[in-house]
Amino acid sequence: MEESGQVAERQESVDWGYEEGVEWGLIFPDANGEYQSPINLNSREAKYDPLLLEVCLSTNYVVCRDCEIINDGHLVQILLKTKSMLVGGPLPRGHEFELHNVRFHWGRENQRGSEHTVNFKAFPMELHLIHWNTTMYHSIDEAVGKKNGIAIIALFVQIGKEHSGLKAVTEILQDIQYKGNSKTIPCFNPNTLLPDPLLRDYWVYEGSLTVPPCSEGVTWILFRYPLTVSQVQIEDQNIDP
């Protein structure tokens, strides 16, 4: 029997893309699951859950030094080396989830960049902060596809004023325009991606990874209020992932 990490490695080695007519479910069986992401969030159908306030969602993010930013041909991601943790909220009590990477999702048009939509409205960009359950599992590969294995914070992004926390990232994106390109930035603080503490209302649902292998068992935490980036920062991301 193959270990989960071997399965993930084998599946991720298979080429895939977003071309019309490509059926991920033919290559990645998990993509045929019942709880697939992304989804449209209908705010009128969302149900208030007072239990989420019993243990507030809490982050203990630390500054990462010498972070590698990679263009893997599908998306751009920041790999983090520090022990930045997420606890509380909808996550199992007493469990810690470690921030593994930050992924950027955007489209060729400003109005159609996010993966999730809210009341069928898309945003120019969406950030995913990928966490894995260090209390139950020994690695992110082991956690993928398992119950309570992965938690993802999703942040919608709209065009407005410049986002200072992303400046170090957007400034070097033109240097990693093509698949396989990477670059190291001296410092990245994931705390700068989080909304103001007073604006941290969020939606929660159980879904899957949005890219192959599309494994389920993912707890999605989507902040209601979007971040803002400047038009220039959006244009800097017109690269070829």
Q: Which residues are catalytic?
A: 74
* Integer Rg of the chain from CA: 17
CA–CA distances in Å: residue 73 to residues 64, 179, 182 = 24, 4, 11
Please, what sign has the CA dihedral across residues 104, 196, 208, 48?
A: negative
The SS3 call for residue 232 is helix
Task: Write down how long the chain is.
Answer: 241
How many whole angstroms separate alpha carbon 182 and alpha carbon 178? 9
